[in-house]
């Protein structure tokens, strides 16, 4: 297992912990779909994420769930001139307007569990 695989495995492991907690809270019998937003700065390899998902969902309420990952581009905001821009592919964080490197990353650095679809057992009041 190389470094990239370990990165994705730790992401999916943390996500699975969150999913199991949510499933328990919702009294879910199955998780059918999971949607994840991953910021480009996280350097997630989609294929490695899929492999980790396949391995870690086995034997859980998410065993048959689909995983959809959407990559979120990086966006930065210059603190000096308030220019909002997307850093170039080399992640140069210099503002294209004022040429300062005093920026705030406003998107593209997070991993967000966007949605989870559950199935629950039908219950009647007679039980």
Average pLDDT per consecutive 10 residues, the chain (127 residues; last block may be shorter): 75 97 95 96 94 96 97 96 88 90 94 95 51
pTM above 0.75, yes or no: yes
Distance CA(52)–CA(7), nearest Å, equals 10
Q: Are residues 63 and 120 in the same domain?
A: yes
Domain extent for 53: 1-72+109-127
What pLDDT is stored for residue 65 in this prediction? 97
* 38 and 85 together in one domain: no
Report the pLDDT value the prediction gives residue 121, as an integer from 0 to 100. 81
Closest CA to 111 of 7, 11, 26, 18: 11
The pLDDT assigned to 127 comes to 39
One domain, residues 26 and 84? no
Q: What is the pLDDT of residue 126?
A: 43
Q: Are residues 94 and 34 in the same domain?
A: no
Q: What is the per-residue pLDDT for 38?
A: 97
Residue 17 and residue 59 in one domain: yes
Together in a domain, 99 and 82: yes
């Amino acid at each position: 297992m190389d470094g990239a695989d370990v990165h994705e495995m730790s992401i999916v492991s943390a996500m699975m912990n969150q999913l199991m907690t949510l499933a328990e809270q919702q009294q879910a019998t199955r998780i059918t779909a999971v949607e994840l937003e991953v910021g480009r700065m996280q350097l997630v390899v989609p294929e490695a994420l899929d492999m980790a998902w396949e391995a870690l969902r086995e034997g859980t309420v998410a065993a048959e769930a689909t995983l959809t990952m959407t990559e979120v581009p990086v966006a930065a905001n210059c603190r000096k001139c308030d220019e909002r821009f997307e850093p170039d592919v080399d992640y140069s964080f210099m503002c294209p307007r004022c040429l300062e490197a005093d920026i705030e990353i406003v998107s593209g650095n997070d991993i967000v569990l966007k949605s989870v679809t559950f199935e629950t057992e039908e219950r009647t009041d007679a039980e």
